[in-house]
A and B are shown apart, each in its own frame.
Chain A
């Protein structure tokens, strides 16, 4: 969606390396930032989210950071594994709906 920009569109990493995906949003009222993972042929599923009252959240190998001043948030995947290969979407709420980024295709090379 035009309210959320996501970069890069594709990302290839060596297994064991880190991957970082960045998103920017335009609505300063946005206060909830989820990340969804979509494996090939499957539905998108929530993997982590962050609210605007915190700057960072971790869950095992994944983490999300938020910079409200700059209006951007990032997904960090450490020690990447083959099962991390998927399309990742960031999102931010605009009024009563979620606006999604265009997605990042992550490929983990063995």
Chain B
């Protein structure tokens, strides 16, 4: 059963702590993306990776970091430098690295709450 798996689904963090959100896909897709979703603001791109061992900043990368050591995995670290990290985080993948080539597949999301 192919798809994208995000974990954890819910996460609580104290201020000043780093947390890492996991994203794994078994679709054999080249490109992977991290979006942040806040009410009324749509989906904003944090980081994206078109190929293994390469990634680029999106529109709101400050306070976040990623790695792409394997094709299947694209973890996102929310660092203590992110001023307002409470949000819903969505991981997605695309078969090729070009955004106009087809459907973006999303994971079920991770909801991060900073206490």
User: Interface on A for B, CB 8 Å cutoff?
Assistant: 1, 6, 9, 30-32, 34, 36, 42-46, 49, 89, 93-103
From A1, A9, A34, A46, B40 is in contact (CB under 8 Å) with: A9
Instruction: Provide the bound-state CA to CA distance between A43 and B110, in Å.
Output: 11
Q: Which of A6, A43, A45, A96 contacts B42 (CB 8 A)?
A: A6
Which residues of B sit under 8 angstroms from A34, Cβ to Cβ?
103-104
* Residues of B82-115 whose CB lies within 8 A of A: 90, 97-101, 103-104, 106-109
Which residue in A36, A94, A102 is a CB contact (below 8 Å) of B41?
A: A102
Residue of B nearest to A93 (CB): B99
* Chain B residue at minimum C-beta to C-beta distance from A30: B100
Which secondary structure dominates chain B's binding surface?
loop
Q: Is the CB of B43 within 8 A of A96?
A: no
Provide the bound-state CA to CA distance between A31 and B98, in Å.
12
Query: Is residue B74 contacting chain A, with contact meaning CB distance below 8 A?
Result: no
Give the residue name and chain of the A residue nearest to B50 (CB): A96
B48 and A44 within 8 A (CB):
no
Set B100, B106, B108: member contacting A31, Cβ < 8 A: B100
On chain B, which size bracket covers the interface?
Answer: 20 to 34
Q: Decide if A32 touches B48 in the complex (CB within 8 Å).
A: no
- Contact residue among B31, B90, B97 (Cβ-Cβ distance under 8 Å from A44): B90
Contact present for B43 and A44 (CB under 8 Å)? yes
Task: Give the docked Cα–Cα distance between A30 and B45 (Å).
Answer: 17
A93 to B43, CA, bound (A): 13
- A98 near B40 with CB under 8 A, answer no
A98, B104: Cβ atoms closer than 8 Å: yes
Q: Provide the bound-state CA to CA distance between A101 and B100, in Å.
A: 16
A39 to chain B, nearest CB (A): 12
A1 in contact with B42 (CB, 8 Å): yes
B75 within 8 A of A: no
Indicate if the CB atoms of B45 and A97 lie closer than 8 Å: yes
With A96-B50, A97-B48 as contacts: A103 and B108 at CB distance below 8 Å: no
Task: Output the nearest chain A residue to B45 by Cβ-Cβ distance.
Answer: A97
